[in-house]
Amino acid sequence: MEPQLGFIEKSFDLRYSDLVREALDELPDCFTITDPCICGHPIVFASKGFLKMVGYSKDEVIGRNGRIFQGPETDRRSVMEIREAIREEKAIEISLLNYRKDGTPFWMLFQMCPVFSKEDGRVINFVGVQVPILRKLRLSGNGIVRSEMSLREAGNGAREILFRCCRSEVCSDSILELGHASCLESVSSNDDREFDINEPCEASELEKTKASTAISNILSVLTHYSELTGKLVCRKRYCLSGNRQLGASLNICLGRIKQSFVLTDALLPDMPIVYASEGFLKLTGYSRHEVLGRNCRFLSGTDTDPTAQFQMKECIQYQQACTVRILNYRKDRTSFWNFLHISPVRNASGKVAFFVGIQIDDHCKNHETNSLSPEMQQLSVVGAVKVAVRSLSMGASTS
C-alpha cells in the first residue's frame, strides 16, 4: 500500500522552505526527487517537464516508486545497477529504456545523485534527472537520412522538437544539431517499422552535459531553500564534528587494532559509523568512504533474520552488550555468517558515547588458528577501544 499523498508531500516540505516547489517548477528539466527514508522509496516531487514527458499527472506519480516507468523491455541489469547505487548511496549515470503512461517506450539518459544532510551525513533525498536520448542519424535503405527516434517513440511531450528528413545526396553532410531536443517533422510509416527499440542506445556528450547541468541547478535550489529552514543539505557527505569527527590520536590508537570492527556514534541520529578498521573493510569489500556516516544496517540483506536485528536494536536501546550470529552481505552481495558482538563504550564522564561492533566471519571462526577463542578476541577489542576512548576524553577534559 502506497503512503498517503499528504504525508509524502509534508515530509518534503519539512526539510525545505514552502517556496521550494515553486522554485523547482520553474526549472525546465525533466526530473524527480525521491525520499529513501520513507518505506517504498517514493517520489516526493516531479517536475512539470517530467510529467509532460511521461504523460502522467502529478497525483499519479507522487507517492509511487520509479519502477512504474519500467516495462517489458527495460534492461534488468540496468535496473539492478540503479538499485545498487541507491543502496551504496552514490551517484550513477546510465541509459535506460522507460515507458510512458500510454505504453510507448523511449530511451533516456538517467543521472541520479544523493542529497546529504549537512548536519549528520545521512541521505535525505535522491535527485533523478531524465534526458530523452536522440539517437544518431543514419542512412536508411531508401536513401533517406533519418533519426532512429520515431514520432511514436518521441510521444506527445516532444512533438515540438524539430528534425528534418532529406535526401542523402542533398544534405548528407548537413545534419541538424541538437538544440534543446529534436523530433521528426515527417517520417514515413515504413521507416518507423524499421526502428528497433531494443537496440542499445548511448547518450551524446551534449545530453550528458544537459543532465549534469540540471543536477547542479536542482541541488542549488535545494541547498538554498534548506538554508531557510536551518536543515542544510549538500551534494557531498561532510565529515562529522564533535563525537562526529574522531581526533587523530584516537584514529591512530584504533588503527593498531587488527580485528574487524566499527565504531558508531551513539549521540547522533541513526548511529552512523565514525570509524571502520582495515579488517572490516577487507571482510566486507567496502572502501572507507563508502562506510563512514552510514548505519550498519547496509550489511543486511534479503535473508537476514529480523529476530537478530531486533535483538541488537533492543540491546542498543538499553545500552547493553550482546552477541548474535547474523547473516550479512558483502559489497559484492555474497553472504557470510557474522559472529557479531556489540558493546557500549563510555567516555570519561560515564556517558555512552559510542558502540563498538566486532565482526568475525563464522566460517573462518571454525578454522581459527589464533590461540584466543572468538569470544576472547572480541572482548579484547572492546577493552582496547574503551581504553582509547576514555584516555582521549580524559586528556581533552584536562587540557
User: Does 228 share its domain with 320?
Assistant: no
Phi-psi region of 62 (alpha: psi -120 to 50; beta: other; left: phi over 0): beta
Rounded CA gap, 54 and 74, in Å?
A: 15
pLDDT above 50: residue 147: no
Q: Which pLDDT score is estimated for 246?
A: 61
* Mean pLDDT along residues 62-77: 93
Report the CATH number at residue 378.
3.30.450.20
Q: Which pLDDT score is estimated for 192?
A: 39
What sign has the CA pseudo-torsion 41, 268, 231, 29?
negative
Residue 186 Cα to chain centre, angstroms: 41
pTM above 0.85, yes or no: no
Q: What is the pLDDT of residues 159-200, one digit of tens each?
A: 443 333 333 333 333 333 333 333 333 333 334 334 466 676
User: Does 229 share its domain with 368?
Assistant: no
User: Does 115 share its domain with 141?
Assistant: no
Q: What is the pLDDT of residues 76-97, one digit of tens each?
A: 999 999 988 888 788 999 999 9
User: Does 362 share its domain with 284?
Assistant: yes
The residue assigned the cell 541538437 is 178
Mean pLDDT across the chain, nearest whole number? 79
Cβ of 85: how many Cβ atoms within 10 Å? 18
Domain assignment of residue 81, given as a range: 5-133+202-234
Count of domains forming the chain: 3
- For every residue of 212-231, DSSP letters joined together read HHHHHHHHHHHHHHHHTTT-
Long-range residue pairs from 340-347, CB within 8 A, at least 24 positions apart, any chain: 340/312, 341/375, 341/378, 341/379, 341/382, 342/312, 342/315, 342/316, 343/382, 344/266, 344/316, 344/319, 344/320, 345/263, 345/382, 345/385, 345/386, 345/389, 346/386, 346/389, 346/390, 347/389, 347/390, 347/393
pLDDT above 50: residue 228: yes
197 versus 383: which is more confidently predicted?
Answer: 383
Rounded CA gap, 274 and 360, in Å?
A: 20
19 versus 39: which is more confidently predicted?
Answer: 19
Q: Which pLDDT score is estimated for 18?
A: 82
Give phi and psi for 40, each to the nearest 5. Answer: 90, -5
Of 29-33, 140-144, 146-150, 228-232, where does mean pLDDT reach its minimum? 146-150
User: Does 94 share its domain with 209?
Assistant: yes
Rounded CA gap, 324 and 330, in Å?
A: 18
Rounded CA gap, 139 and 118, in Å?
A: 52
* Mean pLDDT along residues 228-237: 84
Give ∠ CA 37-42-47 in degrees, rounded to 5. Answer: 120
Cβ of 16: how many Cβ atoms within 10 Å? 26
* Mean pLDDT along residues 280-285: 94
User: Does 97 share its domain with 206?
Assistant: yes
Which has the closest alpha carbon to 306: 292, 318, 320, 324?
324
User: Does 144 share its domain with 108?
Assistant: no
Give phi and psi for 278, each to the nearest 5. Answer: -60, -35
The residue assigned the cell 507522487 is 62
Rounded CA gap, 344 and 283, in Å?
A: 22
User: Does 91 share its domain with 215?
Assistant: yes
User: Does 65 share its domain with 209?
Assistant: yes
User: Does 99 share its domain with 183?
Assistant: no
Where does residue 88 rank: exposed (0-12), middle (13-18), buried (19+ CB within 10 A)? Answer: middle
Residues 6+ apart with CB under 8 A from 344: 266, 316, 319, 320, 321, 352, 354, 355
User: Does 160 share its domain with 208?
Assistant: no
User: Does 74 share its domain with 161?
Assistant: no
Which has the closest alpha carbon to 146: 202, 188, 199?
188
